[in-house]
Amino acid sequence: MIQKKKEHPKEKARLHPRNKHRERYDFKQLVESCPELAQFVKMNIYNDESVDFADPEAVLMLNKALLKHFYNIDFWDIPRNYLCPPIPGRADYLHHIADVLGSKNFGKIPMGESIKCLDIGVGANCVYPLIGNSAYGWSFVGSDIDTFSLESAQKIVDSNPGLEGKIELRFQKNPGDVFFGVIQKDEQFDLSICNPPFHSSKEEAQSGTLRKLSNLKQEKVTEPALNFGGQNNELWCKGGEEKFLSDMIRESEKFSTSCFWYSSLVAKQSHLKRVLDLLQKAKAAEVKTIPMGQGNKSSRIVAWTFLTPEQQLNWVSSRWKDAT
C-alpha cells in the first residue's frame, strides 16, 4: 500500500556543507553513471525512488554508483562479508578533518599529494583514501591487520589507474598495535584518521547487526543473511572502542612529532570523557571535538596534536608550502 508522499527536507542539514551527499539521491543520474544500479531502484511506500537498504546487494551497488558518479572511481568492489560503509558519513569525516588542517593554514585547506594521510584500519573497501584523494588530492597510507582486506583494497587501487602512486597499503603484523609497525622511522604524516571497532565482542557485534536490520525491515530479524556487514576485526576488538582509543592515544604520544593531527571517530558519547581525560594526561597541546550527524545517528570526531604553536608554524611553512 502506497502511503501519503513524504515531505523531505531539500538538504540533509547535519552533513558538512561541502558534502556532495547533502541532497537526496538523484537515482536517474546515478543509474546513468552505474547502469547496474537500475535493477535495485524501486518506488518505496512513499512513492519515492529508492533502494532497499536492508538488501546488502542493493547497498553495495548504490556505493558503486556514488563512488563512480561523485569521485570518478571506475572499479570498486568488496568481498562478501566485509564492511560496506555509508559513503556520506565517510565523506563527512574527511571534510571536517580538512577544516582542522585549514584552521592552521590561515583558513585555506592544504591540498595535493604532498599532504599525507594515514588511515588506520583501511579495510577491504578503501573508502577513506578514495574519497580523500578525489576531494583533496591527498596521498594515503592505509594499514590493516587483515591480509585479505589489504588484497581487496590493493585490487581497487590497481584497477583505477588514476590512483597509481597515491595510495599505499601496509600490513599491521601486531593486532595489538596501532602506530607501531606502521609509521616508519623519520616518516611524517599531516593527519591520521580512524573508524575504530565499535563493539567489544562478537556477540555484541552480531546483536547490533540484527538490531540494525530489524530497524530497516521494521520487523524482528533473528538471523542475518550473508551480507556485507563486516568482518570481526572491522566490528569488534577486545575492550571495544574505548580500549582501542586508549591504545591509540597512548601510542600517538610515542609518535608525537610524526603526525600533525591525530584523529578518530568516537561513536559512543559515553566514551568521550575518558578520551578527553587521556589526552589531557598525555599532554596533547590541542584537542578538538567535532560533532557529526547523519539522519538520526550522532557521532563525533576527536582530533589532537602534540605540536607546540612554534612546531605547528614550522610544519606548515616547511611541509605545506607546495600544497595547493
Predicted pLDDT at 75: 97
- Average confidence (pLDDT) over 5-18: 76
Distance of CA 254 to the CA centre of its chain: 24
Predicted pLDDT at 263: 98
A 10 A CB-CB count for 57 gives 15
Predicted pLDDT at 226: 46
For 226-274, write each residue's pLDDT tens digit: 454 544 554 545 768 999 999 999 999 999 999 999 999 999 899 999 9
Q: Which fold has domain 86-319?
A: Rossmann fold (3.40.50)
For 48-101, write each residue's pLDDT tens digit: 899 998 888 999 999 999 999 999 999 999 998 888 899 999 999 999 999 999
Max Cα distance, the chain (Å): 65
What dihedral do alpha carbons 240, 156, 139, 129 form, nearest 10°? -40
For 185-199, write each residue's pLDDT tens digit: 999 999 999 999 854
C-alpha span between 136 and 138 (Å, rounded)? 5
- Tell me the average pLDDT of the chain: 88
**pTM recorded for the entire structure:** 0.88
- Strands (DSSP E) contained in 86-233 are 116-120, 139-144, 167-171, 189-194
